[in-house]
Structure 1
Amino acid sequence: MAEPILLQSGIKDVNFGEGVKVVAPANLYGCAIGDHCFVGPFVEIQKDVTIGKRCKIQSHSFICELVTIGDDCVVAHGVMFINDLFGTGGPAMGNRDLWKSTRIGNKVSIGSNATILPVTICDDVVIGAGSVVTRDIVEPGIYAGNPARKMRTL
């Protein structure tokens, strides 16, 4: 029986701001996390991700490459970001040229188990739990559903 190659999660090449708290275990690499942020356990934040100041990233969330999150944001438990839309009919297999980026504005709260495809979300938005964001959000408000739609203005 063959032995697997065992890789360890950890923190590597991260640019931390002042007063950042990270609960282990977490897998953070090649990213930047702003001042006074909190990162919960079982979170993965990949390279080329930038997180602004005073953000909370709750447990079991996955933030893939090419995501930018503004200041004063909350990413609740189990939120998944996607950068590969399978544009060629299948996975990009690591080909970054096929990946798309995501930009989250300031004061955005994303509810538990939401899925965020490559989009831009403006400032002052709430995304309901379990929602799937498939298109850019350009007006502040509360959005929910699959696909996420505006429910009301804040």
Structure 2
Amino acid sequence: MSKRVKVGEGTIICAGTIITVDVTIGNHVIINLDCTLGHDDIINDYVTMYPSVNVSGCCNIGECVEFGTGMQIIQGLNVVSDFIVGASACVVKNIDSPGVYVGTPAKKIK
């Protein structure tokens, strides 16, 4: 693990995950198999990433977020706390309202 990556207490990072540089990961985060975190990402506490999630660089992810299998988030986006993104969704703009998001591009359904 790079000295330029910070990982919080109780965090689990599974095999095959790629974490680039200047990434901060909060407490009690679960990063499942084969995920990718881009440069300068901030992943706050209690985030769960299912397998093959791709978070591009310079993203700021709020607390208590759940990312479905194979979802993607485009570079430079900010997302609020307390939301879920469904499997294979693609987030292409900031998410500023808690809820459930699905599809490509990801849209709020609940």
Relative to the length of structure 1, the TM-score reads 0.69
How far apart are residue 123 of structure 1 and its match? Answer: 0.5
Whichever of the two has the greater Rg, that structure is 1
Misfit runs of 4+, over 3 Å: none
What pairs with 1:56-95 in structure 2 (closer than 5 Å)?
56-83=30-57
Task: Specify which of 116, 123, 127 is matched with residue 73 of structure 2.
Answer: 116
Match status 1:51 vs 2:25:
yes
Relative to the length of structure 2, the TM-score reads 0.95
Q: Distance in 1 between matches of 2:60 and 2:28?
A: 17
Query: Which of the pair has the greater relative contact order for Cα pairs under 8 Å at 6+ separation?
Result: 2
Name the aligned partner's letter for residue 73 of structure 1: V
- Structure 2 alignment gaps of length 5 or more: none
**Over the residues paired in the alignment, what is the CA RMSD in angstroms?**
0.9
How far apart are residue 12 of structure 1 and its match? Answer: 3.5
**Local SS of the residue matching 1:109:** strand
Identical residues among aligned pairs (%): 26
Name the count of aligned residue pairs: 109
Q: Distance in 1 between matches of 2:7 and 2:64?
A: 16
What pairs with 1:4-153 in structure 2 (closer than 5 Å)?
11-13=1-3, 30-83=4-57, 101-118=58-75, 119-152=77-110
- Structure 1 alignment gaps of length 5 or more: 1-10, 14-29, 84-100
